[in-house]
Amino acid sequence: MKNVLIIGSTGQIGSELTIELRKRYNGHIVAGYITGAEPKGELLETGPAEIVDITDKEQIAGVVSKYRIDTIYNLAALLSAVAEAKPQLAWKIGMEGLFNVLEVAREKNCAVFTPSSIGVFGNNTPKDKTPQDTIRNPRTMYGVTKVAGELLSDYYHIRFGVDTRSVRFPGLISYVAPPGGGTTDYAVDIYYEAVKSGHFICPIAAGTFMDMMYMPDALHAAIQIMEADPSQLVHRNAFNITAMSFDPEIIAANIRKYIPGFTIEYRVDPLRQAIAESWPNSLDDTCARNEWDWKPVYDLDMMTKDMLSKLQKQGAVNR
C-alpha cells in the first residue's frame, strides 16, 4: 500500500495530482496545504488533508509519521515571475523547504519528488534540442532554486541513499487550477480569454518559443518516474521532458481553427519576456524516454480541443 504526502496539494499541479494519485493508489494520499489555501470540493472530500507548512520540519515529520508516508511529492514553490518579485520568499520555500523535506525523508525513509523546470537553463545554454546534461546557468531566483534543488536532491541520494527523482517540467497547461504567475502561463490564459472574450492580450512576443505540456501528461510523468525501476535510472534530478514547443502565433492559429474569430494582440511584459528568452526553444528528452519510457500523449491540437471544450462546459469563466 502506498502512502503519499503531497505538499502544495492545492496548487496548479498538486490539485490534479492528488486526485490522480487517489484514483491509482489505495493508501493514505494526504493533501498537504497551508492556511489560506485550504482544499475544497473533490480534493477535500476524497481523502485526508493536513496543514503542512514546508518551512516547518516538525510539521512535515508529524504528518509523515501519522500516515506512515513512503513518498513525498514536494510541490511547494513560487513560479518564475512571482519569484522575481519575492526572491527571498522564493528561496525560503524553494530551498529551506526542500532541505526540511529531504531531512525528513532521510530520517523516515521516504522517496521524494520535487519538480524542476526548464527554468534551470539560462542564456548560455544551447537553445534548440537542449541536452539533458548541459550548462545550467539561470539568471532568475526561480532558476537558481531549481538548479540548487536538483543538486541538493542528487546529493541526498548519493550521500544518504534517499530515493530522490525529478523532471524538468516545461510550461504546464490546465483548465482546473488557475496558474500562479509563471512566464509560460500566457499559454493557459489564452484559452480562458478565447472562450470568455475571443480576444487575448499577450505578454510574450510573437516568435518566442518555449516547451509546453498538457497537464494530463505532466501528471503521468510525475507518477511514472516514481514507479520506474531504479536500476534503470542513470539520471535522477532532473530529467528533461517535453511534449511540444510553440510561440504565441502558433497557439493562436490553432485556437482559431475552433474559434474562427479569435484575435490576439501583443503588450509584451519586459520581465516575463526576458525570462522566456533565457529559456530553451525546445528540449531533448531522449534520456527520459530511454530510462523510464517517458512518452507524451497530447499534441497542441489535442490539447486545444480538450481545453476549449472543458472551458466552454465550465461556462463563462471568472479568473
Question: Binding residue for ligand VAH (CB under 6 A) from 8, 119, 143, 248?
Answer: 119
Please name which of 140, 166, 211, 186 lies closest in space to residue 75, comparing C-alpha atoms. Answer: 166
> Nearer to ligand VAH by C-beta: 63 or 78?
78
**8 touches ligand VAH by CB under 6 A:** no
DSSP letters, 110-154, are: -EEE--EEGGG--TTS--SSB-SSS----SSHHHHHHHHHHHHHH
**117 touches ligand VAH by CB under 6 A:** yes
**122 touches ligand VAH by CB under 6 A:** no
| Cell numbers representing residue 166 in the block | 525529478
Query: What are residue 281's phi and psi, to 5 degrees?
Result: -85, -35
Question: Binding residue for ligand VAH (CB under 6 A) from 80, 114, 132, 166?
Answer: 80
Size of interface with ligand VAH, in residues (CB under 6 A): 14
> Nearer to ligand VAH by C-beta: 3 or 121?
121
> Nearer to ligand VAH by C-beta: 70 or 185?
185
> Nearer to ligand VAH by C-beta: 80 or 240?
80
Verify whether residue 258 is a known catalytic residue.
no
Specify the residue for cell string 502512502: 3
- Binding string, 184-213, against ligand VAH, x = CB under 6 A? xx----------------------------
Distance CA 2, CA 18 (A): 13
The 8-class DSSP code of residue 183 comes to G
Query: What are residue 74's phi and psi, to 5 degrees?
Result: -100, 95
Is the separation of the CB atoms in 139 and 98 below 8 Å? no
Given the residues 142, 192, 214, 298, select the one marked as catalytic. Answer: 142
Distance CA 292, CA 215 (A): 19
- Binding string, 155-184, against ligand VAH, x = CB under 6 A? --------------xxxx---------xxx
- Using CB under 6 A, list all residues that contact ligand VAH: 79-80, 117-119, 142, 169-172, 182-185
Active site residues: 142
